[in-house]
Structures are given as C-alpha cells and as structure tokens.
Structure 1
Amino acid sequence: MLSKRPYLIPAFYDWIVDQGHVPHLVVNAHAEGVMVPTVFVEDGHIQLNIGPNAVRDFYMDRVAISFEARFAGQPEQVYVPMHAVKAIVDRDSGQGATFSDEPEETFPQSDDVGAGSTEAPTTGRKGRPQLRAVRGNEEAGSDPEISKRDGKPDDGGPDDDPPPGGGGGGKGGPSLRVVK
C-alpha cells in the first residue's frame, strides 16, 4: 500500500504555515538517502525548522523534501526522502502528525515532476499549463513546441497573442506567458 506520508506532510506543512506558525520535521538521520549535517543529529534523529523564513530553495514532492538552511552560520544543503520523515509538528503548539514504520508501506521512487530535484520543476505535467520566460521581442508561436497542442496546429486563441508592446517585462525584459 502507498504510504500516507507524501500526502499528509504537504497538507500539515500548509496548515501550519497558514496559521503563521513554524513547521518542524523530525527525521531519521540514518535512513537511506538522508543528507543532513551529522553534528546536529541526536539519538539518530534531527529536528529541522522548515519554516519559509528559515530555508532557501525549498522544494517538496512525493519523493523528498530538499532545501538549503544555515546550521551554526554555515549554509548546508538538506535532502530528506519521505520515508525518513518521522513527524511534522507545529513548533508553537506541538500539534502535527507522527509516522511509524509500517512493513507494507511503499514510497514512490520518482515523481512526475522533479524527482529528487533540489529545484522546482520548470515544465508542467502533460496537459497542464506552464509558465516560462520569454524575451520581450519574441513572437507568439515562433517556438514549434509551443505553437502546437497535442499535435494539432495552434488555434490562435486569446491566450496565445503576445502582450501589447512586445512583452510585459518592460524595456524588452523577460515576461511570462501561459503555454498550453
């Protein structure tokens, strides 16, 4: 059976952050694939502040959580596979979720987007709109990958027209456009 962790951890993270509180992860530091600063590991576990003000380049998918944080003033890259997360809790109230190891639990080894990546994906899932930077003077439909949808010619709908003035980035800078 698929593990509940990859579904519950993002939900609890959002719930805690939406309250203006600080989410913490309790991680089995000795689990396979975990990358954390070992000097801060106590009894095989490490508690990590994953609040938006404490981390950089935060990325979470169904496979893992990754980010950069400072430990004793030194920046460190952290990578925590979902199977290594023991709990996610609200630092302020102590509420959250704890997870025990269940023998029948299975974890995804890759995700549709950005499996194991430390950066947010740049392309969306098939069939979903995505954003990308375009130059201010780029004409709509000049990229053959963008001008076709499902192998059919572009229908030239209103979303496909370039913004007036050659782009919304001002002075020829990059702008964003929905790509179907």
Structure 2
Amino acid sequence: MLSKRPYLIPAFYDWILDQGHVPHLVVNADAPDVMVPARFVEDGHIQLNINPSAVRDFHMDRVGISFEARFGGQPERVFVPMHAVRAIVDRDSGQGATFPDEPEETFPQSDGDREGAPAPTSSGKGRPQLRAVPGGEETASEKSGSDASAGDSPEESDGSGPDDDPPPTSPSGGGKGGPSLRVVK
C-alpha cells in the first residue's frame, strides 16, 4: 500500500498558507537522498521554513520537496524525499501532522509511479512552461455575431474595450512568423 504522506503534506502546506501562517518541515537528515546543510542538523533532524517568502524555486511532488534557501546568509540547494519528512507544522499555532516511520518501498520513486498517470516532463527547474498550441484564429466577422449575449453591456459587446480584440496577426496565427496567444472569452 502507498504511503499517505505524499498526499497529506501538500494538503497541510496549502492549509497553513491559506491561514497566512508559516509552514515548517521537520526532516530526518540521516535518511537516504536527503540534501540539507549538515551544519544545521541537530540530533539527526533539521527544521526547515518552507514559506514562499523564505525559499526560491520551490517544487513539491509525490517524490519529494526541493528548493533553494539561505542558511547563515549562504544560498543552499535542498532536497527532501517524502520518506524523510517527519512532520509539517504551522510555526504560529504548532498544529500540523507528524508521520511514523514507514518502509521506503511505500513511497513513489518518481512522480510517474502514480498508477494511470504519465510522468510530467520538466526542464529540471520545476517551473511551468508555455508552449504554442496550433489553432485557428477567429476572424472579425465570426466574432461580431457570436459572442455578444443578452446580458452584455454595449461597451463589452461592441469590441471597443481595450482587451476585447487581440492584436492583428497573420492568418497562420503567428505574428511575424512565430507562435502567438489568442484571447479566449
């Protein structure tokens, strides 16, 4: 059976942030594949502030949590596999969740281990990427009669608003020969 930890940690993280509080992780620094600054480890554990204002390039998936943070003024890259997380807590209230030791086999070894779901492709930075999607451009004649509804005000339906019309592009959908974005309402 798979561990519940990779599902609960993101939920607690979101819950703590939604309250406007600061999430902290308690990590078993001696677990395999953990990358944390050893000089801040106490009794085999380290507590990490994972508030968005304290970290850069934060990425969390079912395999682990990675980010860059400053320790003693020096930037450090951190990676914490899910099996090494002992607790996630709200620094302000102390509420959160602690996790018992579990066999490492119960954790996904890659985010693609999820049954029936393909592994996401990434550039290694854990950041979303935009890409051009082929699609037809709607012509002005098609637009004029198709998107005005009974509840629209005249200003919205006559196309005079600043965001109503996309900039002119070539018929291929790409201005100056490249991909473009189109307005979808």
Shift of 1:101: 0.8
Structure 1: distance between partners of 2:121 and 2:83? 14
Number of equivalences? 145
Contact 1:22 1:50 in 2 (8 A): yes
Larger Rg: 2
Flag the structure with higher helix content. 2
Gaps of 5+ in 1: 123-130, 135-139, 142-159
Structure 2: distance between partners of 1:62 and 1:177? 34
Compared CA separation, residues 104 and 25, structure 1 to 2 (3 A): closer
Which letter does structure 2 place at the counterpart of 1:120? G
Contact 2:25 2:86 in 1 (8 A): yes
Identity of aligned residues (%): 74
Query: Does residue 1:165 correspond to 2:140, yes or no?
Result: no
Partner of 2:48: 48
Shift of 1:54: 0.3
Contact 1:133 1:175 in 2 (8 A): no
Partner of 2:126: 120
Compared CA separation, residues 92 and 75, structure 1 to 2 (3 A): same
Output the aligned Cα RMSD. Answer: 3.2
Flag the structure with higher strand content. 1
Partner of 1:132: 130
Query: Does residue 1:66 correspond to 2:66, yes or no?
Result: yes
Deviations 1:102-126 (A, max 9, x none): 349600001134589852265xxxx
Structure 1: distance between partners of 2:122 and 2:34? 12
Compared CA separation, residues 103 and 35, structure 1 to 2 (3 A): closer
Gaps of 5+ in 2: 113-118, 138-165
Shift of 1:4: 0.6
Contact 1:61 1:115 in 2 (8 A): no
Contact 1:54 1:69 in 2 (8 A): yes
Instruction: Provide TM-score, normalisation by structure 1.
Output: 0.70
Instruction: Provide TM-score, normalisation by structure 2.
Output: 0.68
Which letter does structure 2 place at the counterpart of 1:3? S
Which letter does structure 2 place at the counterpart of 1:36? V
Deviations 1:20-63 (A, max 9, x none): 00000000001000000000000000000000100000000000
Q: What's the secondary structure of 1:10's corresponding residue?
A: helix
Shift of 1:166: 3.5
Compared CA separation, residues 5 and 177, structure 1 to 2 (3 A): farther
Structure 2: distance between partners of 1:115 and 1:82? 20
Q: What's the secondary structure of 1:56's corresponding residue?
A: strand
Structure 2: distance between partners of 1:115 and 1:88? 27
Partner of 2:106: 106
Structure 2: distance between partners of 1:172 and 1:20? 45
